[in-house]
């Protein structure tokens, strides 16, 4: 897990430098990594990031990754449904609030941009939001697993 996270973060940094050289300037933006602090307070950005990451996890696990759905959709359609969930969340989050360019959903993506340009004061939002959402999703699935149909 640590090697995966390290590899993804280093890959994001490399991609950030490639984007910088492609754009030819030190300043460029990527959707999902921009927050206008004049319009969106950091606490609101953190809440939005948390909500969209949690929504993506629930949609992905509920629609595409739930073993019970394999009987309905089949194994070939599950990755497509997870990708559709990601696309809908990414597209929908971009229009939620003026000054918020959409959910990051992957901290390594914004980390790469920030390494190549500069780290804003809110860069931690893109790490804390998805981590807290993942922990929250894990707790919900541990406490009330959707495949457990025991009657109480």
Say if residues 32 and 103 touch (Cβ distance below 8 Å): yes
* Whole-Å CA distances, 2 to 6, 16, 56, 138: 6, 21, 22, 18
Which range marks the domain in which residue 126 is found?
Answer: 2-143
| 148 is a domain residue | no
Residue 60 lies inside a defined structural domain of this protein: yes
Angle at 138 between CA 135 and CA 139, to 5 degrees: 90
The domain total for the chain is 1
Global confidence as pTM: 0.85
**What token pair was written down for 2?**
């640590």
- Which tokens go with 125? 């939002």
Is residue 38 included in any domain, yes or no?
yes
| CATH number of the domain encompassing residue 74 | 1.20.1080.10
Is the residue at 150 inside a domain? no
Does the residue 149 lie in any domain? Answer: no
The C-alpha atoms of residue 86 and residue 118 are separated, in whole angstroms, by 27
Instruction: Say if 85 falls within a structural domain.
Output: yes
Residue 121 located in a structural domain: yes
Instruction: Look at residue 11 and tell me if it is in a domain.
Output: yes
For the chain, strand residue ranges (E) read none
Going residue by residue through the chain, which has 152 residues, state the pLDDT in tens, using 9 for 90 and above: 889 989 999 999 999 899 888 888 777 777 788 889 999 999 999 999 999 999 999 988 888 777 777 777 777 888 888 899 999 999 999 899 998 988 998 888 889 888 888 888 899 999 999 999 999 999 998 998 776 666 55
């Amino acid at each position: 897990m640590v090697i995966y996270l390290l590899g993804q973060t280093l890959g994001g940094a490399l991609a950030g430098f490639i984007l910088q050289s492609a754009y030819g300037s030190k300043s460029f933006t990527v959707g999902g990594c921009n927050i206008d602090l004049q319009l969106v307070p950091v606490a609101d950005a953190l809440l939005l990031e948390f909500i969209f990451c949690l929504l993506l996890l629930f949609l992905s696990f509920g629609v595409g990754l739930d073993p019970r759905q394999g009987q309905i959709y089949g194994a070939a359609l599950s990755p497509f449904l997870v990708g559709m969930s990601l696309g809908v969340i990414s597209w929908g989050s971009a229009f939620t609030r003026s000054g918020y360019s959409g959910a990051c959903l992957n901290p390594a993506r914004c980390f790469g941009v920030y390494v190549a340009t500069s780290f804003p004061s809110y860069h931690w939002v893109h790490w804390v939001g998805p981590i807290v959402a993942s922990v929250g999703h894990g707790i919900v699935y541990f406490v009330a697993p959707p495949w457990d149909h025991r009657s109480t």
